[in-house]
Amino acid sequence: MSRVHFVSAHFGGDVPWMPFLKSSKHQISFNYYNDNNYPSRHLSMHPRFKSKLPKMLEWKNVKSEWYVWMDSSIRPLEGIDLADRILQQVGDNPLCLFRHSKGNTIREEALRTINMLNSGHQYFKFRYSGEPILDQLIHYYGDPDFIDNKLFSTNFFAYHHTISGLMQEWFNQVVQWSLQCQISLPYVLHKSGVTYSLFDGYTNIQNNFFTWDWRTREKSLSPKSFL
């Protein structure tokens, strides 16, 4: 039996739904942060940035063996032991991730984000307008030790408490560069040398763990959360 702590967050609007989690094989816990149980800090912290705190730093608040982050767009499938399925996929590595469905490098993701911003795409504009995405990419490419050959979806992942240092550095990169954390994770991971496993499938396409219901999540957000 392992201790598995799930964490999610939804700021800037009413919680779209409450995920149901249970396990007969592991000791699980769950924190769902929202505007009602977490300080708003509305004058100093954008809702999209505030979610990075539990996403990357939950190990500072809750002691567990494993941590599982899931965006508020994630609906766990009913009738499954999600914790057990996750640990079966993890194997001997301290981190398990989903591959990104739209690219294989941070260069592709950075350019896709920039193109979406330039075209006025609302989803990207609300999240990444004003962020120095190109400067971030240039900075990473200026590191002679960095090899750009991986890209992950970051709306669902599992990690062991022993790599809390990696999670802290990932958060640091988000603070220094941009909220587009899919760009900073491959860089931090490459520099750390941490080994990882991959979940089967993709987060935004059918998989054996959950459905990705981002449309319902977006409808629950207040327009003020994008200002």
At 222 the pLDDT is 59
At 55 the pLDDT is 98
Q: What is the pTM of this model?
A: 0.94
| pLDDT digits 0-9 by tens, 140-154 | 999 999 999 999 999
Would you list the domain boundaries of the chain? 3-102+151-226
The candidate with the shortest Cα–Cα distance to 102, out of 204, 211, 220, is 204
**Best CATH choice for the domain 3-102+151-226 from the list 3.90.550.10, 1.10.260.40, 3.40.50.150, 3.30.70.141:** 3.90.550.10
- Residue with the two structure tokens 């981190």: 95
At 216 the pLDDT is 85
- Residue with the two structure tokens 């080994």: 195
Beta bridge partners of 210: 76
Q: At what angle are helices 106-118 and 133-141 packed, to 10 degrees?
A: 160
Write out residues in the chain with pLDDT < 50, as ranges: 224-227
Q: Are 155 and 97 a contacting pair, CB within 8 Å?
A: no
At 48 the pLDDT is 87
- Whole-angstrom distance, CA of residue 221 vs CA of residue 126: 11
Task: Give residues with Cβ within 8 angstroms of 7, minimum separation 6.
Answer: 30, 31, 32, 33, 54, 55, 58, 62, 67, 68, 69, 70
Could you tell me the CA-to-CA distances from 127 to 31, 110, 164, 226 in Å, in that order? 24, 14, 26, 7
Q: Are 108 and 102 a contacting pair, CB within 8 Å?
A: yes
